[in-house]
Chain A
Amino acid sequence: MFALLPTAGIIAGAFFVFVGWTVIMSFSASRLLPSYEFVGGLQYQRLLTNSRWWTSMENLAVYAVLLISGCVCLGLLLAVLIDSVKTERLYRTLIMLPLSMSFVTTGLTWQWLLNPTIGIEHAVRGAGWTTFAFDWLVRSDRAIYTIALAGIWQQTGMCVSLFLAGLRGVDPSYWRVAQIDGIPVWRTYLHVILPQLRPAFFTAFILLFAVAAKSYDLVVTLTGGGPGFSSDLPAHFIVDQLGRHELGTGAAGACILLITVAATVGPYVYMEIRRQQRA
């Protein structure tokens, strides 16, 4: 069992000692340098009275809901369509292409497309529709939607492949029975096939939530958290605290983010552990 030692050491160190250390820092007076002077809930108090933090948490809620619903609906629709035609390779390849690209690439690509001075708005106005406006990127009340748009573009492919794998795993005899009984195809999907895809829905939800919670690169490259701090996300806010010499406040934010992820993903991880142990 010595073979387990290196990995066990690394994982114990990185994931449990370091997370514990972050928790301790969140109760300390750390600013530029880590300090271990206990200050109770002061950092949490500073965090929770910071309107930037609340903006970023609200944005996470908006982003997660849009990302999950957008990717799941679009992914399911496309998977059903792909599953029902014979020559589907090109469609599949193109739809999943963004998945192989980084969030930096995704963010930069959309930053140019949505940029009012050279992107879509500029092109449509140049074509004669001079009052056309698509300036979400520079509007503080809309910038978070551009992050959702870029995220959906990138992650839909993941949902398509999840649902496609699910659809192809369905026992063909369901289809035969439904056909013999003369049940319309859409009803077969709705009442027979989709309920069998429950694990895929579940997995998609969890994975997309994890993507939303960790989104740092997309914020940096697409909006920089702006205009102002209007499109900030917690993952970006926390890292930003490092540069502002507010280690303690950042650590407190990291703990709240961790609790948010644990509350959402925790039940799934628990079930997965049970399943893996039976496997």
Chain B
Amino acid sequence: MRRRIGRTTATHLTLATFAALFAAPIVFMILTSLKTLPEINNGSIFALPESPSLAAWSKAWGSACISGTCEGISRGFINSLAIVLPSLILCLALGGITGYALSLRASWHADALLKAILIGLFIPIQAAMFPMVIVVRELGLFGTRAGAVLVHVTWGLPFVSLLFRNYFLTIPRNIISAARIDGAGFYAILRHIVLPLSLPICAVAAALQFTFIWNEFLLSLTFAGAGHEPVTVALNILAGAQFGVQEYNVNMAATLLAALPTIGIYLLYGKIFLRGVTTGITKTRHA
């Protein structure tokens, strides 16, 4: 079966050029983060560092000042984890149960909810944001981690529920029918049959949801509040500062550090990450 377009060498050359172009911004960021400030201001971003140093990285991680606290981006990491992990667990638990219930298609309620979920995937946050601020403030959770967790779970649920539903539809119905005949209830079936079968989809959902929430900016910025800034918000404060000397090397090191966890997930999970991102409608959320 021949489907070569032109010569193989030419194809490889074109692909290598594009791959290099896509990787180039990241490479130049790494190079710049290893330079000293005078070297950055006087030299070229394409130049290799004269004497590579990790000083900017250690400052970015542990001692750069972000809104008055000089603990570097590591503080943002802790804040992010404190928001991402609870959000992730709640999203998976609720989304898993909902996805399973939806996959049974037992009533018109389930159909109505499915429609609502598909519509919910496309609603811009801006269209619900002002009332959300009012309600979260009334609950006394505005500017707290719990508030940030609450909004992230809310905006993650449609996607996770749909992901689980589509997976559960592939479980043979006979297994579930047999268990039901043997007297197992909804939660017994979920606990003893569906859950053990759903570890792969849990891994996909966890990887994607971690990436989405870690990379999210608008909800975190609005709801997390001072002192709880997650990594994207902290990074924007650090790099967006208009006053004083711009420490480009530190800022770039911080940017790379902030991107490392999700790059790591992508490199480790590669295929399932992309399958999750590109299966049918499931690609709708951008982080």
Contact = CB atoms under 8 A, between A and B. Distances in A.
Contacts of A58: none
Nearest to B120: A15
Nearest to B97: A3
Contacts of B131: 17-18, 21-22, 25
Contact of A272 (B11, B118, B266): B118
Contacts of B232: 102, 104, 217
Contacts of B132: 14, 18
A158 interface: yes
Interface string A243-279: 0000100110111011001000100010011001101
Interface in A95-127: 95-105, 108-113, 118-120, 122-123, 126-127
Contacts of B215: 101-105
Interface in B85-119: 94-95, 97-98, 100-102, 106-107, 109-111, 113-119
Contact of B125 (A13, A120, A214, A224): A214
Given A1-B106, A18-B132, A277-B111, A235 B29 contact: no
Interface in A124-181: 126-127, 153, 156-158, 161-162, 165, 172, 175-176, 179
A206 B118 CA distance: 13
Interface string B1-19: 1111100100110111011
Interface stretch (B49-57, B60-68, B278-286): B278-286
A91 B287 contact: no
A210 B281 CA distance: 12
Contacts of B115: 273
B118 A276 contact: yes
Contacts of A214: 124-126, 286
Contacts of B149: none
A8 B22 contact: no
A220 B98 contact: no
A216 B265 contact: no
A249 B95 CA distance: 35
B70 interface: no
Contacts of A221: 236, 239-240
Contacts of A72: none
A254 B98 contact: no
B266 to A, nearest CB: 4
A269 B129 contact: no
A51 interface: no
Given A11-B117, A272-B281, A186 B5 contact: yes
A238 interface: yes
A19 B19 contact: no
B22 A7 contact: no
A137 to B, nearest CB: 14
Main secondary structure of the interface of B (DSSP, over half): helix
B109 A102 contact: no
A270 to B, nearest CB: 9
B243 interface: no
A100 B262 contact: yes
B155 interface: yes
A276 B163 CA distance: 12
30 contacts: A7-B161, A11-B116, A14-B132, A18-B127, A22-B128, A34-B134, A81-B5, A82-B15, A85-B15, A96-B274, A99-B266, A100-B266, A101-B263, A102-B215, A102-B217, A103-B286, A110-B25, A118-B45, A118-B248, A119-B45, A156-B22, A175-B2, A176-B1, A179-B2, A188-B3, A217-B232, A254-B126, A265-B122, A272-B281, A277-B111
Name the 4 nearest CB pairs between A and B, nearest first: A102-B215, A100-B266, A18-B128, A123-B44
Interface of A: 1, 3-4, 6-8, 10-19, 21-22, 25, 34, 74, 78, 80-85, 88, 90-91, 93-105, 108-113, 118-120, 122-123, 126-127, 153, 156-158, 161-162, 165, 172, 175-176, 179, 185-186, 188-189, 203, 206-207, 210-211, 213-214, 216-217, 220-221, 224, 234-235, 238-239, 242, 247, 250-251, 253-255, 257-258, 261, 265, 269, 272-273, 276-277, 279
